[in-house]
Amino acid sequence: MLRHLLLSSLLLLVCFTARGVCQQAPAEPEPVKGYATYAELFDDFEKQRETLLTRMDRLREQETVKPEEMKVVEDDLRKLDGRYADALDTYIQGHPKAEDLMPARFELTVALSRIDDRLERAVTAADEFLANHADAELAPDVRFLKGQTLFRISGREKEALAALEEFIEKHPDRQEADAARMMRVRTLLFLDKAADARRSLETLLKSDRVKQDKEAEEFLRGQLENLDWIGRKLPDFKLADLTGQVRSSADYEGKPTLLFVWDSNSTACLGELPFVQEAFKRHRDKLNFLGISVNESKPALEQWLARNPDAVGFPTIWIDRDEENSLVKKLSVSLIPFLVLVGSDGKVFRYDVRSDDMLRYAAMLAK
């Protein structure tokens, strides 16, 4: 049984870290089937999940897969999560003295954590688990899930920070501890505590585990370098966009700005583009947006935009990626896609931002 529980936890992490975090369950709930035991409930839904995952694996094995075919399976998995959570909740409420409530409560926490519009309920489920099973083998997993879930809820950053710090203090050697430490850094930045975030990263760099992992050490040093950009003046520029209108750094002072460095030939950039376009749709009245293309040529960019007229709504300029002293060079952009947020004072607010963090920061700057 424990193997099944850990499998569910792993599925949650896959769901959470993928681009475009899993969406909500269906709006119209289906009738909830009753179960005599948790094992019966778990086995029923595990069979359904295995069927869907097998379908997904077979699609991935194909040379060409239609996006809509994969979306059908992903939607079915989300619907299954919703039904699973409902069934677990019904079982727990209907069997208050059952001996198998511990794994049922754990699975409820995991299932709810996979559903965007039930994150608040997931936190409550985590608290209920810990209130009843504080010393259980799965308690550390639930503490981590609670911190992770609070981290995902905008407006509950202080609670997320407390939950993550509690997990790190109680379980410093757990595998998830490093992930919790990095979430702690990101949470501190959401709280605009850059100095605390820096100290946290410096502490991580001193750990023996990081010293023995060169890749992790390099990543953390890169994060520290990103923090060095916070508060720097945005480099001056004066460039014409694709319509011929001249855009200068002076034009963007007095209002927060999002800069997006990208290339239409980059799969990663095209994966990031919808996030930027979504931010543009939500906050275009309160934020400036500027796309900076480093396509191999300006005509190549123009041709792509002509084929995809609805993909980019914000102004875009083209820069020769090899040109010395260009804005891209001044910003020290080495990898794309690349996102920079600038405050209304013309100073860098966040540098090399993740797309999911960007949407949250954009909402903060738009207030």
What are the start-end ranges of the H helices in 258-311?
Answer: 267-283, 298-307
Q: Considering the domain boundaries, does residue 37 fall inside one? A: yes
Q: Can you give the pLDDT at residue 196?
A: 97
Number of helices (H), then strands (E), belonging to the chain: the values are: 15, 7
* Euclidean distance between CA atoms 310 and 2, whole angstroms: 48
- pLDDT above 50: residue 26: no
Q: Can you give the pLDDT at residue 7?
A: 37
Task: Provide the CATH number for the domain around residue 127.
Answer: 1.25.40
Task: Provide the CATH number for the domain around residue 319.
Answer: 3.40.30.10
What percent of the chain shows pLDDT beyond 90? 83
Q: How far is CA 129 from CA 93, 109, 216, in A?
A: 13, 8, 33
Q: How many CA atoms lie within 13 A of 35 on its CB side?
A: 23
Burial of 276 (0-12, 13-18, 19+ CB in 10 A): buried
* Euclidean distance between CA atoms 42 and 85, whole angstroms: 11
Q: Considering the domain boundaries, does residue 260 fall inside one? A: yes
What confidence tens digit (pLDDT) does each residue in 250-265 have? 988 899 999 999 999 9
Q: Considering the domain boundaries, does residue 221 fall inside one? A: no
* Predicted TM-score (pTM) of this structure: 0.83
* SS3 at position 146: helix
What confidence tens digit (pLDDT) does each residue in 333-365 have? 989 999 999 999 999 999 999 988 999 999 999
Over its C-alpha atoms, the chain yields an Rg (Å, rounded) of 23
Q: Which residues pair with 258 in a beta bridge?
A: 289, 341
User: 10 and 146 in one domain?
Assistant: yes
Q: Considering the domain boundaries, does residue 214 fall inside one? A: no
Burial of 116 (0-12, 13-18, 19+ CB in 10 A): middle
User: 11 and 146 in one domain?
Assistant: yes
Q: Considering the domain boundaries, does residue 109 fall inside one? A: yes
- Give the residue from 137, 153, 169 where a domain finishes: 153
Average pLDDT score, the chain = 90
User: 255 and 135 in one domain?
Assistant: no
Q: Considering the domain boundaries, does residue 183 fall inside one? A: no
User: 149 and 33 in one domain?
Assistant: yes
The answer to whether the beta carbons of residues 211 and 218 sit under 8 Å apart is no
User: 242 and 130 in one domain?
Assistant: no
- pLDDT above 70: residue 43: yes
- pLDDT above 90: residue 10: no
Confidence grade of residue 321 (pLDDT, cut at 50, 70, 90): confident
Number of domains in the chain: 2
Which two structure tokens, joined as six digits, stand for 114? 């996979």
- Give the residue from 113, 138, 153 where a domain finishes: 153
* Euclidean distance between CA atoms 209 and 181, whole angstroms: 13
* Euclidean distance between CA atoms 294 and 298, whole angstroms: 9
* Euclidean distance between CA atoms 288 and 258, whole angstroms: 6
Q: Can you give the pLDDT at residue 20?
A: 41
- Give the residue from 114, 133, 153 where a domain finishes: 153
User: 138 and 272 in one domain?
Assistant: no
Confidence grade of residue 154 (pLDDT, cut at 50, 70, 90): very high
Residue 330: which of 349, 311, 351, 344 has the closest Cα? 351
Q: Considering the domain boundaries, does residue 21 fall inside one? A: yes
Confidence grade of residue 3 (pLDDT, cut at 50, 70, 90): very low
Confidence grade of residue 229 (pLDDT, cut at 50, 70, 90): very high
Which is more confident, 328 or 5?
328
Residue 309 structural domain: 238-366
* SS3 at position 236: coil
Q: Considering the domain boundaries, does residue 200 fall inside one? A: no
- pLDDT above 60: residue 242: yes
What confidence tens digit (pLDDT) does each residue in 55-99 have? 999 999 998 888 899 999 999 999 999 999 999 999 999 999 999
What percent of the chain shows pLDDT beyond 70? 92
